[in-house]
Chains A and B, each alone.
Chain A
């Protein structure tokens, strides 16, 4: 298959490790770019997913690729000292990674991330502050990219995606959670190349170039019209409500948990977690 038709298959042999290697060669180890990983209105699923990374793992990311100055789940500092780090980073060149949507009701009071000198700092304040000054902004996960579960009906916190909230270019790395390789790979491609190739929804083509349906191991069942009638059957789960045909990620070949498993491989239909409209428009997740 030619790379023009299928960017993921075309790049499969040299996808991540080579990008990482290139990135390492291109950055001065003493001058790693700073990175703020902000958790706004989120379940923290994306940072947990990042810790699951393999080849390269998160230690490699932290030691060799970027200088992560602020993340409330990982950093040693607490309270005001932690937030001081955030403020200090704003005066440097940095990448802003946001996971979670921006809760906007009551000036963002539904999502308080810090108290600094007696003042309450909301997720909305922090995203606005850092979003203005960051060299790159990555919206990681479906909440930051499209609103996701945080902005699902009836959306009591009036949450918005980071993409809609910030009036600037934001790279979307959706997924619920985002696969750690999509995140590290996107950061790597920023390090080596200021402009990673993005699609019209601002997602890296490298990871979101084709639909799950395109590379699904059960695709031949679909083509022959053989469908599973209930979960657990080995055939195509399209008639049970699979969203693979409308969801763009490389899950079938990259898979999850160190490439061990993924939803369709474990007999559950794709629920479209990485696409616009998740979760409201993707329901019902299973239909009998």
Chain B
């Protein structure tokens, strides 16, 4: 229930307020009125960013505790025969089952179901991982 409230607060409320303030800035009659609303908009945007960040963090933390796997268990999720395709990078297991570049659980000669930290750091920046669903932690 608390989460539902938060979601409605973030997606609708803040967005509506931001739109409203932007309108007021556009149609402000004086410089001071404009400055006043710009300050309010700044506050609102900071709030929005904060909430968004918190949610992402909360989601990620929640996901991290979902399914932890050992390297041996991870090998089951290699994407073959329609199975999910998971890969581990830096101790976190990601789901690449629906990732466009991972057709059939394979990716430029690499196979899912493995710890690919080394291969990942050879080709990509860490930023691209943030859009991937997290499965859990890799148990060493």
B101 and A240 contact, CB distance less than 8 A:
no
B100 and A246 contact, CB distance less than 8 A:
yes
Say yes or no for B109: interface residue by CB 8 A criterion: yes
Say yes or no for B122: interface residue by CB 8 A criterion: no
Segment of B13-21, B32-40, B65-73, B75-83 in the binding face: B75-83
In the assembled complex, which residues on chain B have CB atoms less than 8 Å from the CB atom of A287? 79-80, 104-106
Can you list 27 pairs linking A and B with CB atoms under 8 Å apart?
Answer: A213-B100, A225-B98, A238-B104, A239-B79, A239-B103, A239-B105, A240-B103, A240-B104, A241-B104, A242-B104, A243-B103, A244-B103, A245-B100, A245-B103, A246-B100, A246-B101, A277-B108, A280-B109, A281-B108, A281-B109, A282-B108, A283-B109, A287-B79, A287-B105, A287-B106, A288-B80, A288-B81
Say yes or no for A64: interface residue by CB 8 A criterion: no
In the assembled complex, which residues on chain A have CB atoms less than 8 Å from the CB atom of B104? 238-242, 269, 284, 286-287
Interface residues contributed by chain B, number (CB under 8 Å): 14
Say yes or no for A110: interface residue by CB 8 A criterion: no
Q: A239-B79, A243-B103 are in contact. List 17 more A-B contacts (CB 8 A).
A: A227-B82, A229-B81, A229-B82, A238-B103, A239-B103, A239-B105, A240-B103, A241-B103, A241-B104, A242-B104, A245-B101, A245-B103, A246-B101, A269-B103, A282-B108, A283-B106, A287-B79
Q: Contact residues of B with A, CB < 8 Å?
A: 79-82, 97-98, 100-101, 103-106, 108-109
The residue from B82, B100, B108 contacting A239, defined by CB atoms under 8 A apart: B82
* Distance of A271 from chain B, by nearest CB (Å): 10
Who on chain B is nearest to A280 by CB? B109
In the assembled complex, which residues on chain B have CB atoms less than 8 Å from the CB atom of A241? 103-104, 106
Which residue among A213, A229, A240 has the maximum number of chain B CB atoms within 10 Å of its CB? A240
Interface residues contributed by chain A, number (CB under 8 Å): 23
What does the 1/0 interface line of A201-237 toward B look like (CB < 8 Å)? 0000000000001000000000001010100000000
* Distance of B112 from chain A, by nearest CB (Å): 10
Give A269 to B104 CA distance when docked, in angstroms: 10
Give A288 to B105 CA distance when docked, in angstroms: 10
In the assembled complex, which residues on chain B have CB atoms less than 8 Å from the CB atom of A246? 100-101, 103
In the assembled complex, which residues on chain A have CB atoms less than 8 Å from the CB atom of B101? 245-246
Give A213 to B105 CA distance when docked, in angstroms: 17
Give A10 to B106 CA distance when docked, in angstroms: 33
* Distance of B84 from chain A, by nearest CB (Å): 10
In the assembled complex, which residues on chain B have CB atoms less than 8 Å from the CB atom of A288? 80-81
* Distance of A184 from chain B, by nearest CB (Å): 30
In the assembled complex, which residues on chain A have CB atoms less than 8 Å from the CB atom of B106? 241, 283-284, 287
In the assembled complex, which residues on chain A have CB atoms less than 8 Å from the CB atom of B97? 239
In the assembled complex, which residues on chain B have CB atoms less than 8 Å from the CB atom of A286? 104
In the assembled complex, which residues on chain A have CB atoms less than 8 Å from the CB atom of B98? 225
